Structure formats: structure tokens, C-alpha cells
Structure 1
Amino acid sequence: MAIVALGSNCGDSPALIRAAMDQLEALSAAPLRRSSLWRSAPVDCPPGSPWFVNAAVALAPRPGETPESLLDKLQALERAFGRRPKQVLNEPRPLDLDLIAFGTERLATPRLTLPHLRAATRRFVLAPVAEIAPDLRPPGWPAPAAVLLGQLPPGEVVERLGPA
């Protein structure tokens, strides 16, 4: 199972996230598990950045799929949805796709780190992930997603919006 986190804070974010989920369905060898849509305050973004809509999906990689080949497809999908090369770190974007985990893979390359370095400490990632895969515990995580979510300190604003 691969976990992909989705985020958008530019344009009609709920519609963009839903459309991206539909595209991700085609990459999965089994039906996609989709989280609800979540609204979150921007974290580590430029001042005045709009709030995000976040979600997560669990997909079954197709035979022969590697973390790198899936990352290539995710980045192509971001570009298809209007994402441009970064001018400013964490600037508003129509679609952000992060590969959070790919089975039990551990990877650290200049392009990709698995599991995702900060996912286990970010409420806007863990809330949707825990909804679809509460027992997810990639290598290196100290506890499953639902437990980690419950252990986060208060402060980061994340609210469930509704179904995807």
C-alpha cells in the first residue's frame, strides 16, 4: 500500500482534490481508499497564504511500480493541475501530492525520502491518513498513525470538511 497526501490552497481546492483523487484511482491496482476533505491553516507558508484543503488516499501500487516511478507520476499530475516550479518555498499551489509511505520501503535519496520525514508530526497529514489507515506504521514511525495523531500537541488547526 502507498499513502499519498493531497493538498491545495489555490483555486477551487475541494474540486481540485476530488479531481486529483479520480486521477489517482487510475494508478491503483485496487480501489482507492479516500479520506474526507480536511481544512487546515497554512504551516511554514509565506504570510497571507490561504488555508489548505487536505486529504489522503491509500493506493495499491501496480506490479513493477517503484517509489520513484510513482513519484514521477505524482509530479506529472501536479503539473497537469497547474503546479509550476517553486518561486517561493511553500507558496500557494493548486495541487500538492506527497508520497508519505510505500509499503515498508525506507529510502533516502536527493529526490525522495520514505517514509516522508515530517508526516508523523503534522496534523494536516495525520488526520486524513488516520481516517483511511489508522494502523499505518511505516518504518521509523514510533507508533501507528491514529496513535501519533492523538499524541500531537494542540495548536495546529485542522477541521473535517466532509466527504471527498
Structure 2
Amino acid sequence: MTETPNPHIIDADTLTGEMRPIRRAVLALGSNLGERMAALQGAVHALADTPDVWVTSVSPVYETEPVDSPAGAKPYLNAVVLIDTTLAATRLMDRALAIEDAFERERGEVPNSPRTLDVDLIVVGDRRSDEPSLRLPHPRAHERAFVLKPWFDLEPDAELPGHGPISELLAGIGTDGIAVREDLRLEVE
């Protein structure tokens, strides 16, 4: 049985003695190229294998219509992962990019182009950032049912900083174009 760390405990880095708070983070996963389910499952395992990251919950898998994608883009599989971490947001972003790269994510010049794997940081504790390499909370999460619905499944009372309760955001945009895939389930080992 995995024990969830207490978010109020401060973790001391064993090498440096640096004190780092444990933060809750929400990550959104998506894939619409190749072996979509294998990519999502691989991302969950890679996150669970990351030092100083504890996967606490994984949402159901949803199949979703592409949003703002080029014509002909295939449907996505999407899920949300909740983690507790002592990693700095920048290091967590580096890890997310490395996981995408491991699944041969190609970054083209066309926005929202099809991808083998997308790992987005939605929130990391109460951290805010407008740096080009790290935008927190995620700037479009409040408009994306494929982020809000799986997150709502895990934390119905959660709030997206600067935007309000996810239940209200989801009610405002609706759930058209997304459907839970009862036949698919992500595992955390």
C-alpha cells in the first residue's frame, strides 16, 4: 500500500538539507497518434518512477474530439494525474518534457498538431508563472473539458487558481465531444 504524503510536511533534501514543501500538482495527459493507451500508461509509470513524485490518483480515460487542431486530426485519449511532489515546478516541467520525448513527441510549427504524447502541467501547488517555458496555471485549462472533466472525477471540489471551481467551469463549457472509455483503465503500480 502506498502512503500519501502529508501536504503540510516539509521534506528535507537528504544531500543538501534544503527544505522543500510537498505540493499537489495536476497533470493532463493526451495522445492521438500511435498506440495512444500505451503512451498514457507509459506516462503514468514514468511519473510514478520519478524521484520526489508520488502519484496519488489517476482519472478515468476519456476519448475526445480534437480541439483547435489541424483538419483530419484523430480523436485523443485523455486523462488527468494527481501527484504530490517536492520537485520545483521547473524541474517537474523538465520531467514532463522528457517523458514526452521518450514517447517520440514531435514539436511542429503547427499549434495543437497531432502528438504521440502530451504531458501538461495544469497546476503545481499555488505556483504562478508567466514565463514562456512555464505557464501556471495552464493558460487554457479553464476552456478544456478534456482537462476539467477527468480532474472533476478525482477532485470535484477543486479550484483552478484565477478561474474558480472546476465544477462551475465545467458546467459553463459542457462536456460535448468527450466520452469516458469504460473499457480502458490506467494503472499505477
Same-fold status (TM-score > 0.5) = yes
**Gaps (5+ residues) in structure 1?**
none
Q: Counterpart of 1:45?
A: 69
Q: Counterpart of 1:13?
A: 36
Q: What letter corresponds to residue 180 of structure 2 in structure 1?
A: R
Q: 3-state SS of the aligned residue for 1:85?
A: coil
Q: Counterpart of 2:17?
A: none
Q: Counterpart of 1:128?
A: 150
Q: What letter corresponds to residue 149 of structure 1 in structure 2?
A: L
Q: Counterpart of 1:97?
A: 119
2:45 corresponds, among 3, 16, 22, to 22
Q: What letter corresponds to residue 37 of structure 1 in structure 2?
A: V
Q: 3-state SS of the aligned residue for 1:30?
A: strand
Q: Distance in 1 between matches of 2:126 and 2:91?
A: 16
Q: Counterpart of 2:108?
A: 86
Q: 3-state SS of the aligned residue for 2:54?
A: coil
**Gaps (5+ residues) in structure 2?**
1-23
1:151 aligns with 2:175: no
Q: Distance in 1 between matches of 2:106 and 2:53?
A: 29
How far is 1:107 from its partner?
Answer: 1.2
Q: Counterpart of 2:10?
A: none
Q: Which structure has more RCO (C-alpha within 8 Å, separation ≥ 6)?
A: 1
Q: Counterpart of 2:89?
A: 67
Q: Distance in 1 between matches of 2:61 and 2:146?
A: 10
Answer whether contact 2:55 2:81 (CA < 8 A) is retained. Answer: no
1:3 aligns with 2:30: no
1:36 aligns with 2:57: no
**Per-residue Cα deviation, 1:64-97 (whole angstroms, up to 9, x for no partner):** x111110000001100011123242211110001
How far is 1:116 from its partner?
Answer: 0.6
Q: 3-state SS of the aligned residue for 1:60?
A: strand
Structure 2 length-normalised TM? 0.79
Q: Distance in 1 between matches of 2:112 and 2:173?
A: 22
Once the two structures are overlaid, the 10-residue window that deviates more, 28-37 or 115-124, is 28-37
Q: Counterpart of 1:58?
A: 82
Q: 3-state SS of the aligned residue for 1:24?
A: helix
* Percentage of pairs with the same residue: 35
Structure 1 length-normalised TM? 0.91
Answer whether contact 2:47 2:55 (CA < 8 A) is retained. Answer: no
Once the two structures are overlaid, the 10-residue window that deviates more, 18-27 or 73-82, is 18-27
**Per-residue Cα deviation, 1:117-164 (whole angstroms, up to 9, x for no partner):** 11011111111111112222132022x22232122246x400000332
Give the structure with higher Rg (CA): 2
Higher strand share: 2
Answer whether contact 1:33 1:57 (CA < 8 A) is retained. Answer: yes
Aligned residues: 160
Distance of aligned partners of 1:160 and 1:153 in 2 relative to their CA distance in 1, 3 Å threshold: closer
How far is 1:13 from its partner?
Answer: 0.7
